[in-house]
């Protein structure tokens, strides 16, 4: 006859082991996304593409890119420049991380805030693409999804929405309601060499109201966060 105490201990150990696995997964996803930020700081675009799963999707401004080939196109906006260089400032502060992993580990979700300081020093501006010469602040929200690929967590859905971009001179009170550095794409790939696979409306950015839906529910009430905020959830036409 089996000892019920042993059975209870075995059940407890199994539950704790599962919890430990999920906690390790959460830490791996945080490391993955924070590494994305550090690589963006130094224009390590080859390494950034390696963070994505084979069947990934990337949503940015008015475009949707699919697969790692799509990721390569999106991160080609520096016109071939790779790595740090004199005069370059591209600081990405990634914070306020909230990560959830499915119990069966089939999927994971992460919400992160990004705060950026971008631009070229005036003494070196002539060495950078025209889109990089303005100095500005940027903030945005990531609502990403992740998958295990060969036992390693990778980005399955990259979904980044600008909150605002503000010129350094003048501050956020002078924020335009359109992107400062990268303009929306005029068409799709291959007609536009670095273009997306699909166009979509540009999501609103401040001073227009915007709302990036949460992947998780209210931690106390269990209800959707921002339920009923429909007028500003969808990208503007």
pLDDT digits (tens, 9 = 90+) for 178-225: 898 888 999 999 999 999 999 999 999 999 998 999 999 999 999 999
Give this prediction's pTM: 0.90
- The pLDDT value recorded for residue 1 is 59
- Which CATH number goes with the domain that contains 172? 3.10.450.50
Domain of residue 141 covers 4-49+78-179
d(CA 177, CA 20): 44
Mean pLDDT of 137-162: 98
Contacts of 132 (CB under 8 A, 6+ apart): 78, 88, 118, 119, 120, 181
Burial of 170 (0-12, 13-18, 19+ CB in 10 A): exposed
67 in a structural domain: no
Please count the structural domains in the chain: 1
Band (7; pLDDT cuts 50, 70, 90): confident
Judged against a pLDDT cut of 80, whether residue 233 lies above it is answered with no
135 in a structural domain: yes
65 in a structural domain: no
124 in a structural domain: yes
pLDDT digits (tens, 9 = 90+) for 47-71: 999 999 999 999 999 999 999 999 9
């Amino acid at each position: 006859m089996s000892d019920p105490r042993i059975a209870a201990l075995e059940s407890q150990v199994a539950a704790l082991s599962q919890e430990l696995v999920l906690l390790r997964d959460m830490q791996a996803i945080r490391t993955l996304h924070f590494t994305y930020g550090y690589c963006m700081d130094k224009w390590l675009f080859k390494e950034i593409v390696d963070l994505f799963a084979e069947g990934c999707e990337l949503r940015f401004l008015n475009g949707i890119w699919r697969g790692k080939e799509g990721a390569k196109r999106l991160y080609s906006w520096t016109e071939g420049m790779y790595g740090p260089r004199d005069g370059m400032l591209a600081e990405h502060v990634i914070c306020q991380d909230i990560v959830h992993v499915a119990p069966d580990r089939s999927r994971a979700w992460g919400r992160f805030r990004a705060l950026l300081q971008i631009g070229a020093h005036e003494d070196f501006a002539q060495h950078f693409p025209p889109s990089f010469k303005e100095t500005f602040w940027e903030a945005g929200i990531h609502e990403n999804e992740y998958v295990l690929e060969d036992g390693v967590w990778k980005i399955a859905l990259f979904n980044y929405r600008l909150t605002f971009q503000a010129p350094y001179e003048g501050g956020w009170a002078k924020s335009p309601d359109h992107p400062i550095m990268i303009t929306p794409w005029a068409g799709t790939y291959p007609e536009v060499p670095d273009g997306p696979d699909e166009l979509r409306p540009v999501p609103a950015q401040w001073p227009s109201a915007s709302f990036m839906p949460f992947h998780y529910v209210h931690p106390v009430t269990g209800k959707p966060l921002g339920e009923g905020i429909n007028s500003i959830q969808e990208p503007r036409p």
